């Protein structure tokens, strides 16, 4: 009986230690802070947010298109991308998808359509804003969404479709990066197939924009631009 008792005790002890070990090996909670200067920009987006086959041109990050849309570090530049559908396409049929697995942090009615802001599950510091969507279903803040899940369609010819990416940096002021900065090579290959030679084709560097500055009155650009703002797809 003593030997049996000892054996049962040993089994219980071993199972307890195994459970404790597994608990201690659980990954730490993912942070909603990301230091771009220290850790760089991760490439984790595996989904196009829009039907690329229906798009003819894309504005560059830091362009002078639209209006001033900048972060706490930079100013007087458009730090998002406009996607323009082809002329032979009904713009209201262009499908819009969630670029990541995540949850809604904002759902706002715009002057035309709905704006969605989605925080990534894998990188919670990264939030994606998708503008001017004719919503396919009612959404609310904190609802979960999957990468590739249909959000709706583009609102129409009243405006272009646009997307931006903001990162919670250690100061929590927010820094914007290009959608193409966070895109994996697998997805970017689709852009290479449409005639884009590199990600740099779609991004005006901070240094280049700084030496070719724009002037603004509020959100309105008031100066002409010496830099090409658009990339045309094949």
**CB 124 within 8 Å of CB 44:** no
> What residues contact residue 101 under an 8 Å CB cut-off, 6+ apart?
120, 121, 122, 145, 146, 147
Confidence bin at 133 (pLDDT 50/70/90): very high
Could you tell me how many residues make up the chain? 234
Q: What pLDDT, on the 0 to 100 scale, is given for residue 30? A: 73
Output the six-digit token pair for 193. 């197939």
* Residue 196, SS3 per DSSP: coil
Neighbours of 212 (CB within 10 A): 14
The average pLDDT across 143-158 equals 98
The average pLDDT across 128-145 equals 97
Residue with tokens 């219980």: 12
Task: Sort 174 into a burial class: Cβ within 10 Å, 0-12 / 13-18 / 19+.
Answer: middle
pLDDT over 70 for what percent of the chain? 88
Q: What pLDDT, on the 0 to 100 scale, is given for residue 194? A: 97
Residue with tokens 């631009």: 225
Q: Which stretch of 90-94, 149-153, 167-171, 211-215 has the lowest confidence by average pLDDT?
A: 167-171
Q: What pLDDT, on the 0 to 100 scale, is given for residue 98? A: 98
pLDDT tens digits, 204-229: 999 999 999 999 999 999 999 999 99
The average pLDDT across 35-57 equals 97
Q: What pLDDT, on the 0 to 100 scale, is given for residue 86? A: 97
Q: Phi and psi for 176 in degrees, rounded to 5?
A: -95, 140
Q: What pLDDT, on the 0 to 100 scale, is given for residue 16? A: 43
Confidence bin at 189 (pLDDT 50/70/90): very high
Residue ranges and CATH numbers for the domains of the chain are 36-229 (2.70.70.10)
**Model confidence at 7: pLDDT above 50:** no
Q: What pLDDT, on the 0 to 100 scale, is given for residue 197? A: 95
Q: Which residues pair with 183 in a beta bridge?
A: 45
Q: Which residues pair with 127 in a beta bridge?
A: 119, 166
Q: What pLDDT, on the 0 to 100 scale, is given for residue 9? A: 42
The average pLDDT across 83-108 equals 98
Q: Measured over all CA atoms, what is the biggest interatomic distance in the chain, rounded to whole angstroms? A: 92
Give the span between the Cα atoms of 110 and 108, in whole angstroms. 6
Give the span between the Cα atoms of 93 and 131, in whole angstroms. 15
Output the six-digit token pair for 111. 């002057």
pLDDT tens digits, 56-82: 999 999 999 999 999 999 999 999 999
Give the span between the Cα atoms of 160 and 180, in whole angstroms. 18
* Residue 180, SS3 per DSSP: coil
């Amino acid at each position: 009986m003593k030997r049996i008792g000892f054996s049962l005790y040993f089994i219980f002890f071993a199972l307890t230690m195994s459970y404790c070990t597994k608990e201690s090996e659980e990954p730490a909670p993912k942070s909603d802070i990301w230091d771009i200067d220290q850790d760089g920009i991760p490439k984790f987006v595996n989904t196009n947010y829009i039907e690329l086959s229906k798009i003819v041109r894309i504005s560059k990050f830091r362009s002078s298109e639209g209006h001033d849309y900048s972060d706490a570090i930079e100013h007087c530049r458009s730090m998002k991308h406009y996607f323009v559908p082809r002329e032979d396409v009904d713009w209201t049929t262009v499908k819009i998808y969630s670029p990541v697995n995540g949850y809604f942090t904002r759902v706002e009615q715009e002057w035309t359509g709905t704006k969605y802001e989605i925080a990534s599950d894998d990188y919670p510091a990264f939030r994606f804003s998708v503008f001017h969507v004719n919503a396919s279903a009612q959404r609310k803040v904190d609802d979960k969404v999957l990468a590739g899940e249909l959000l709706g369609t583009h609102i129409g010819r009243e405006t272009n479709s646009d997307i931006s990416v903001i990162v919670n940096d250690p100061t929590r002021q927010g820094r914007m990066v290009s959608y193409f900065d966070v895109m994996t090579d697998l997805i970017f290959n689709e852009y290479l197939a449409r005639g884009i030679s590199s990600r740099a084709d779609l991004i005006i560097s901070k240094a280049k924009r700084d030496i070719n500055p724009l002037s603004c009155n509020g959100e309105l650009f008031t100066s002409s631009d010496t830099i090409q703002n658009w990339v045309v797809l094949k």
